[in-house]
């Protein structure tokens, strides 16, 4: 022991063993001594006895892995400064447990005597006054000199320590330099403070990088989860990011185009110039329709574009959002309810005439040709159209219905084909897509096609032939791929002869013709249909109506149903609303229905004759629907062809009711 060490030990003993308050000791040291005594720490500890076993130390290091990883290079740099002086550089966690001790042989040998080793806890409650423990209590850099240490094992050392804080200001560890008291330098504490500052800066930088990486990951995840195409560019038009949807829409390889100029990537197709000019402008663009061409393929999109401005008002680039018109239109159709809900499984009937209509309908669904539905009002032509669509390959695509007879003549063109901005007074900004655009890839149902004006029939024919439309006031054609199902309650063949309907359009629409029988020809189905409506309507209204009185069903079977199935549904709905009991009785029926049946009552002979005529008419209709020629139909009926012609005329049966090409 050197003389200086003996002197330091003597000072330490005098201070520990005497109670003289006149010793000139710093106030924070005196306060720490008092706390150490309250903790019950023995001042005569010759070494630290709270040392973690290796497995628990490994867990501690793992808990503080980021701190250790950041601090270790700085600790090694500090050691290079104090190397050869007997000092070691140490890192402790927020509880004062040593995680890292770096030193040369001389320094390690010196500190090992007090068990200043990795895994040892040097908090104030364990080892009394020392720099690590005191800096944790004070929250400040401190230096504890020789005799100021509470325990005898550290009397001959000086330690300098400073707390390490995270970005939130919370203490997460301590940096310490410890060595022989006689070799301490007045800059040692400053070195520790500088080291802590470096560690904290590195921790903050690492946190910022991690948060930035996380933000980028969130941004990427959000951009990739959005089905719209998103492209970002810098202020010179160079692509900084594009999501998967944009790459698919524009036929681009994402890895190759990042960092390239958007205009150069899209090429010099004339249709792309308008889009590029929109992106280059500093204006906010919303839902503007453009055509984009890549690899000789043109896609119609809506474009929304916003400038990126930083906090200093500087232009940083653009964010471009692309929505394919097809997807926008499908969304519109879903929102406005333009979709088919009926399936063939929901259309039922026992009569052969209806079964034949179902058979042809299912066959039509298996093809992609145009269909013409013929039948009186209320026979369910719209339901058949929905069922055909839902059984076709276009089932997942839009089903758009339009009633040609319900739209004013001067508006039907814009409804069917859409219009561009400024096409007429009051035209919507940005224009509006027509039904054909909305139905692209799907089915358009043209109800009451016989009401369409002749001049518009020519435009419709052109759409069928060219598979493209031009909006009212537009200057470019828009490709469309639609399947047409048309319906009418008129005799279109007669309308053709009158000049009210174009012959070429008639043949275009009537590739497959389906005749829907009126309800009066479906006597066997009336009871089942009425019961179906009864259950559905009473359930909807929350009423317990179970069935029909026998006389009601008799009236139903004898009524001629000019409004067909729709009228039957309305009659049942009226009765259910008025019913106060579980059975529908005659007093709940419309008076006109009962009067009509009563007035049609005839003598038994006339009734029998009427039944025979009805059966004969039904047989002729069934054969004409079944066979492709009148000759085959007549042969099956056992009559001559001339008789068949006469009977058809007698019953008002026309060729077009079954097949316009029937001969």
Per-residue pLDDT tens digits for 520-538: 999 999 999 999 999 999 9
Residue 217 lies in a domain: no
Question: Of 548, 515, 513, whose CA–CA distance to 530 is shortest?
Answer: 548
Which CATH number covers residue 254?
Answer: 3.30.450.20
* Residue 441 three-state SS: coil
Binning pLDDT at 50, 70 and 90, where does residue 656 land? low
Binning pLDDT at 50, 70 and 90, where does residue 332 land? low
State residue 648's pLDDT score: 86
Do residues 657 and 620 make contact, with C-beta atoms less than 8 angstroms apart? no
State residue 406's pLDDT score: 84
Binning pLDDT at 50, 70 and 90, where does residue 603 land? very low
* Residue 545 three-state SS: coil
| HEC readout, 141-158 | CEEEEHHHCCCHHHCCEE
Tokens of 10: 């003597």
Residue 136 lies in a domain: yes
pLDDT tens digit string along 379-398? 999 999 999 999 999 988 88
Binning pLDDT at 50, 70 and 90, where does residue 662 land? very low
Distant-in-sequence, close-in-space partners of 514: CB < 8 Å, separation ≥ 6: 357, 360, 361, 364, 371, 372, 373, 374, 384
Which CATH number covers residue 357?
Answer: 3.40.50.300
Q: Are residues 202 and 53 in the same domain?
A: yes
Do residues 377 and 421 make contact, with C-beta atoms less than 8 angstroms apart? no
Of 28-37, 66-75, 240-249, the least confident: 240-249
State residue 324's pLDDT score: 80
Residue 213 lies in a domain: no
Residue percentage of the chain with pLDDT more than 90: 46
Question: Of 81, 651, 97, whose CA–CA distance to 89 is shortest?
Answer: 81
Q: Are residues 105 and 73 in the same domain?
A: yes
Distant-in-sequence, close-in-space partners of 608: CB < 8 Å, separation ≥ 6: none
State residue 607's pLDDT score: 60
Among 303, 332, 361, residue at a domain's last position: 332
Among 332, 360, 384, residue at a domain's last position: 332
Which CATH number covers residue 529?
Answer: 1.10.8.60
pLDDT tens digit string along 7-40? 666 777 766 666 555 567 889 998 999 999 999 9
Say yes or no to pLDDT of 336 above 60.
no
Among 497, 515, 533, residue at a domain's last position: 515
Considering only residues 320 and 325, tell me which one the structure prediction assigns the higher pLDDT: 320
pLDDT tens digit string along 255-289? 888 889 888 888 777 778 888 888 888 788 887 77
CA 216 to chain centre: 20
Of 12-26, 214-228, 644-658, the least confident: 12-26
Q: Please work out, in degrees rounded to the nearest 5, the angle formed at the alpha carbon of residue 441 by the alpha carbons of 435 and 444.
A: 40
State residue 8's pLDDT score: 63
Question: Of 238, 261, 38, whose CA–CA distance to 128 is shortest?
Answer: 38
Say yes or no to pLDDT of 555 above 50.
yes
Domain limits for position 647:
606-657
Q: Mean pLDDT, to the nearest integer, of 496-519?
A: 93
Q: How far apart are CA 228 and CA 249, in angstroms?
A: 9
Question: Of 405, 335, 391, 394, whose CA–CA distance to 363 is shortest?
Answer: 391
Residue 74 lies in a domain: yes
Residue 610 lies in a domain: yes
Do residues 98 and 91 make contact, with C-beta atoms less than 8 angstroms apart? yes
Q: Are residues 263 and 323 in the same domain?
A: yes
Residue 511 lies in a domain: yes
Q: Are residues 509 and 544 in the same domain?
A: no
Q: Are residues 552 and 610 in the same domain?
A: no
Q: How far apart are CA 521 and CA 21, in angstroms?
A: 121
Q: Are residues 68 and 173 in the same domain?
A: yes
CA 189 to chain centre: 58
Say yes or no to pLDDT of 191 above 90.
yes
Distant-in-sequence, close-in-space partners of 87: CB < 8 Å, separation ≥ 6: 103, 107, 177, 178, 179, 180, 183, 188
Which CATH number covers residue 81?
Answer: 3.30.450.40
Facing residues of 303 across strands?
288, 322
Of 134-143, 181-190, 459-468, the least confident: 181-190
Binning pLDDT at 50, 70 and 90, where does residue 179 land? very high
Binning pLDDT at 50, 70 and 90, where does residue 434 land? confident
Facing residues of 324 across strands?
301
Mean pLDDT for all residues in the chain: 86
Q: How crowded is residue 542: how many other Cβ atoms within 10 Å of its Cβ?
A: 6
Number of domains in the chain: 5
Instruction: Name the DSSP class of 397.
Output: S
Q: How far apart are CA 110 and CA 131, in angstroms?
A: 17
Give me the sheet containing 297-309, strands edge to edge.
239-242, 229-234, 315-324, 297-309, 285-294
Residue 30 lies in a domain: yes
Q: Are residues 235 and 203 in the same domain?
A: no
Q: Are residues 276 and 184 in the same domain?
A: no
> What are the φ and ψ backbone dihedral angles of 488, each rounded to 5 degrees?
-160, 155
Do residues 136 and 123 make contact, with C-beta atoms less than 8 angstroms apart? yes
Half-sphere exposure of 262 (CA within 13 A, CB side): 29
Residue 388 lies in a domain: yes
Tokens of 235: 């202020």
Q: Which long-range contacts (CB under 8 A, 24 or more apart) does 147-150 make?
A: 147/8, 147/11, 147/12, 147/15, 148/25, 148/26, 148/29, 149/12, 150/32, 150/33, 150/36, 150/41, 150/43
Tokens of 647: 């009977």
State residue 425's pLDDT score: 52
Say yes or no to pLDDT of 1 above 70.
no
Q: Are residues 475 and 543 in the same domain?
A: no
Do residues 125 and 139 make contact, with C-beta atoms less than 8 angstroms apart? no
Q: Are residues 328 and 419 in the same domain?
A: no
Q: Are residues 22 and 152 in the same domain?
A: yes
Facing residues of 551 across strands?
none
Q: Are residues 179 and 39 in the same domain?
A: yes
Say yes or no to pLDDT of 294 above 50.
yes
> What are the φ and ψ backbone dihedral angles of 172, each rounded to 5 degrees?
-120, -5
Considering only residues 269 and 563, tell me which one the structure prediction assigns the higher pLDDT: 563
**Judging by beta carbons within 10 Å of its beta carbon (0-12, 13-18, 19+), is residue 170 exposed, middle or buried?**
exposed
Tokens of 161: 């320590």
DSSP string, 297-354: EEEEEEEEEEEEE-TTS-EEEEEEEEEEHHHHHHHHHHHTT-S----GGG----SHHH
């Amino acid at each position: 022991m050197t003389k200086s060490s003996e002197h330091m030990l003597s000072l330490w003993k005098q201070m520990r063993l005497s109670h003289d308050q006149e010793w000139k000791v710093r106030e924070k040291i005196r306060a720490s001594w008092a706390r150490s005594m309250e903790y019950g720490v023995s001042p005569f500890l010759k070494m630290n006895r709270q040392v973690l076993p290796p497995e628990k130390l490994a867990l501690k290091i793992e808990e503080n892995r980021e701190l250790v990883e950041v601090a270790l290079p700085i600790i090694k740099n500090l050691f290079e400064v104090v190397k050869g002086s007997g000092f070691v550089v140490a890192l402790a966690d927020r509880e004062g447990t040593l995680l890292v001790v770096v030193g040369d042989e001389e320094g390690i040998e010196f500190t090992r005597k007090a068990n200043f080793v990795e895994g040892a806890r040097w908090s104030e409650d364990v080892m009394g006054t020392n720099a690590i423990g005191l800096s944790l209590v004070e929250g400040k850099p401190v230096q504890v000199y020789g005799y100021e240490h509470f325990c005898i094992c550290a009397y001959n050392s000086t330690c300098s320590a400073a707390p390490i804080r995270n970005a939130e200001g919370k203490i997460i560890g301590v940096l310490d330099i410890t060595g022989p008291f006689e070799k301490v330098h007045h800059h040692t504490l400053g070195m520790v403070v500088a080291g802590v500052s470096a560690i904290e800066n590195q921790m903050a930088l690492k946190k910022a990088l991690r948060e930035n990486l996380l933000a980028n990951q969130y941004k990427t995840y959000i951009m990739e989860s959005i089905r719209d195409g998103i492209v970002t560019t810098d202020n010179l038009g160079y692509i900084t990011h594009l999501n998967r949807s944009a790459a698919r829409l524009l036929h681009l390889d994402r890895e190759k185009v990042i960092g390239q100029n958007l205009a150069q990537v899209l090429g010099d197709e004339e249709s792309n110039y308008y889009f590029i000019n929109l992106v280059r402008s500093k204006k906010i663009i919303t839902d503007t329709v453009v055509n984009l061409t890549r690899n000789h393929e043109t896609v119609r999109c809506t474009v929304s574009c916003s400038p990126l401005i930083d906090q200093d008002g500087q232009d940083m680039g653009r964010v471009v959002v692309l929505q394919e018109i097809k997807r926008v239109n499908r969304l519109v159709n879903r929102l406005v309810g333009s979709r088919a809900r009926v399936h063939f499984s929901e259309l039922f009937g026992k009569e052969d005439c209806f079964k034949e209509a179902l058979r042809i309908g299912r066959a039509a669904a298996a093809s992609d040709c145009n269909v013409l539905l013929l039948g009186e009002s209320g026979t369910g032509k719209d339901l058949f159209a929905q069922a055909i669509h839902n059984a076709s390959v276009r089932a997942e695509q839009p089903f758009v219905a339009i009633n040609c007879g319900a739209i004013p003549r001067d508006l039907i063109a814009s409804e069917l084909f859409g219009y561009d901005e400024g096409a007429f007074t009051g035209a919507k900004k940005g224009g509006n897509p027509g039904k054909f655009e909305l139905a692209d890839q799907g089915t358009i149902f043209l109800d009451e096609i016989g009401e369409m004006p002749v001049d518009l029939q020519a435009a419709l024919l052109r759409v069928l032939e060219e598979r493209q439309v031009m909006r009212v006031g537009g200057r470019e054609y828009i490709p469309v791929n639609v399947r047409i199902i048309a319906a009418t309650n008129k005799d279109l063949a007669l309308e053709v002869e009158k000049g009210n309907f174009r012959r070429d359009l008639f043949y275009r629409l009537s590739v497959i013709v389906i005749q829907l029988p009126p309800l009066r020809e479906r006597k066997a189905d009336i009871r089942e249909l009425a019961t179906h409506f009864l259950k559905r309507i009473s359930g909807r209204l929350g009423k317990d109506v179970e069935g029909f009185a026998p006389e009601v069903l008799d009236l139903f079977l004898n009524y001629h149903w000019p409004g067909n199935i729709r009228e039957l549904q309305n009659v049942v709905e009226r009765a259910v609303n008025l019913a106060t009991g579980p059975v529908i009785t005659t007093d709940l029926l419309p008076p006109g229905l009962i009067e009509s049946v009563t007035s049609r009552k005839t003598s038994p002979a006339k009734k029998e004759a009427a039944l025979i005529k009805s059966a004969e008419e039904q047989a002729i209709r069934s054969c004409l629907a079944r066979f492709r020629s009148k000759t085959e139909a007549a042969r099956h009926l056992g009559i001559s062809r001339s008789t068949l012609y006469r009977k058809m005329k007698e019953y008002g049966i026309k060729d077009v009711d079954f097949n316009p090409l029937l001969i």
